[in-house]
Chains A and B, each alone.
Chain A
C-alpha cells in the first residue's frame, strides 16, 4: 500500500454524506482530531488571556478604590468572569460563521447533524456541557494546586474525569464531544479554498505526442497522484516520477526536454483520454483496472 493510499483512506474515513434538498451529496469532511485540538487550544488561550486582562482590570480598580464602597465592582467582576467563561463559545457559535476564533482559524464550523439549521438551543446545550467536560474540573484542579490543600487521589480523579471527556471525540467515528452528543451537532470543515489553475491548460503540451497505448498505461488514481506531484512541484519527486513514467511507457526523451514539461504534457494527455472514456461510461479506477 503506498503512502497515497493511506492518506486517501484516512481522508475517506472523515467524509460524511450530506444530501442537499437539491439531491446532491456535499461529501462533507468532519474536522479531525488535530484540527479540533488546535481550535480548542487557540480558543482556550485567547479566553484565558481575556479573562486574565479583565481580572487584572477589576483588581486594579478595586485597588484604586481602596476597599471602600466597592461592592458593585465585585459584582461586575463576578458577572464579567461568568460571561467571559461561559459566553465565549456560545457568542461566537451563534454568529453566521457558527465558529469560534480557533475554529475559524482551523477552517471548522459547527453544524447540525441532521443537516438542518443550527439552532441557538443546540449551541447553548453543547457549550453548557463544556462546564463539566473541562472548565469545572480544571478550575478545581488549578485552585486546589494553588492552595495546596488537596490530596493526590482527588486530583487523580479529576484528571481522569477531564481525560475521559477530552479524549471522548477520539473514540467515536464522528469525532463528537459529549456536548455534540447532547446537542445533536458536529464540527465540519468548510475551509476557504482558492480555485487552483487547471493543469491541462498548458501550451507546451503540443510538442509531446503520446500514442494511445502510452496513454492507457495508467488510471484515475495515478492521474490524481500525478496532479498532486505537479501541484506540489517538488523537484526531486518530479524527476523520479518522470523517470518512472518514461520507463513504463517507453518514452525516449528528446534533447532539452524538462521533466516538468513532460509530466504536464503527459497529465494533459492522460486526463483527456480518461475523461473521454468516462463520457463513454468507462471509469478506469487505476492501472490494474482493465475493463
Chain B
C-alpha cells in the first residue's frame, strides 16, 4: 500500500531512526552521566539535536499528527537542555568556585556587607552600653537556652571557669552543633527574608549583634571582657563574618526589589539572587568551619594569646582570601 502513504508519514519513516538514536543517547546521559558516552556518541548529540529541531519545524508545517509533534517537542527540549544547559564537570566547578567564584561573589556585595557589618557593630555597642547600665536588660537580648547560665547573676568564678574549662567535655559537642544550627538558621533567614525591603534582615542582624554585646557587657562587668573576647573570637570571627555576609546578600536582594532601576522588580530580584547564591554557599561553608573550630578548638585552646592569634589570623585570612586582587586565569569565563 506504499502508494497510499502520506508525505508526512514518509517523512517520519525516514527520520525515525535518528530521533530514536538521539533519544537513546539522552536516556544514557540522564541516567549514567555524560562520561558513559564514547567520544563519537558525544559528538553525535549536537548534530542529532539540530536535525531533530529541523524535523520539528518541518513537522509543524507539514504534519497533522499531533503525537508526532508532541514527541519531537519533548525530544528537542530534552536535547536542548543537554546541549545548551550542560555545565563543566563537578570537580572543575568546585575548583572554579574556590579559586575565583566565591571571592567574586563576596566582592560583588562589598557595599552591602559593609552596611551589615556596621549595623551589627552598632547593635553590639548599643546592647553593651544598655546592659552595662541596667543588667536586667540582658534577658531581653539573650534567650536563656543560648546563654546557658552566662548571665548577670553568675559569679566571677563560674564565668571564668566557663571560659577556660567549659564544664564536662562531652557537653561541648551538642552545644557547638546546636549553635551551628542556630547560626545557620539566622544566616539563611538573613538571605531569604531580604526580599522584604531589607527590614527583616536588618532586624536579625541587630538581634544577633545585641546578643553578643549583652554577653560582652556581662563579662566586662566582672573584669573578664578581654578574656571573653578571646574565647569567642576563636570561632566567632568566622561565624560573625558569615552572618554579616548573609546579611549583605539579603540587603542586595532587598535593595534590588526596592530600587530595581530600569529593570522590572522581578528581573532585578532574580539577578541579585543569582549573584548572591555563590556567596551563600560560601556562608554555609564558613559556618561549618566555624562549627568545627568551635567544637574542637574553643575549649582545648585555653591560652588567651593563642585565642587572639587564631581569631585575628582567621579574620585576616578571610579578608585577604575574599578581597585581595588575584591574577586572572584561563578559567575566568567558566561559569558555575
Contacts and interface: CB of A to CB of B under 8 A. Distances in A.
Nearest to A180: B270
Interface in A164-215: 178, 181-185, 188, 190-196, 198-201, 203, 205-206
B152 interface: no
Interface stretch (A41-49, A116-124, A251-259): A116-124
Contacts, number: 227
Given A125-B280, A271-B6, A96 B177 contact: no
A181 B193 contact: no
Contact of A125 (B12, B78, B85, B276): B276
B77 A121 contact: no
A275 B6 contact: yes
A29 B212 CA distance: 50
B277 A124 contact: yes
Main SS at interface, chain B: helix
A120 B86 contact: no
A70 interface: yes
Contacts of B105: 121
B192 A78 contact: no
Interface string A224-245: 1001100100000000000000
A92 B68 CA distance: 31
A160 to B, nearest CB: 16
A71 B169 contact: yes
Interface residues of B, number: 89
A125 to B, nearest CB: 4
A198 to B, nearest CB: 5
A193 B70 contact: yes
Contacts of A101: none
Interface stretch (B57-65, B134-142, B235-243, B316-324): B57-65
Contacts of B169: 69, 71
Interface stretch (B156-164, B179-187, B226-234, B305-313): B179-187
12 contacts: A24-B54, A26-B77, A71-B173, A79-B177, A121-B276, A128-B280, A181-B266, A184-B270, A192-B74, A196-B71, A199-B65, A275-B64
Closest CB pairs A-B (n = 3) = A71-B173, A121-B277, A184-B270
Interface of A: 18, 20-22, 24, 26-28, 67-75, 77-79, 81-82, 86, 94, 96-98, 109, 111-113, 115-126, 128-129, 131-133, 136, 178, 181-185, 188, 190-196, 198-201, 203, 205-206, 220, 223-224, 227-228, 231, 268, 271-272, 274-275, 278-279
Interface of B: 1, 4-9, 12, 16, 19-20, 23, 27, 29-30, 33-34, 50, 53-54, 56-57, 61-68, 70-71, 73-78, 80-82, 84-87, 90, 93, 97, 105, 169-174, 176-178, 180-181, 184-185, 188-189, 191-193, 195, 253, 266-267, 269-278, 280-281, 284, 288, 291, 295, 335-336
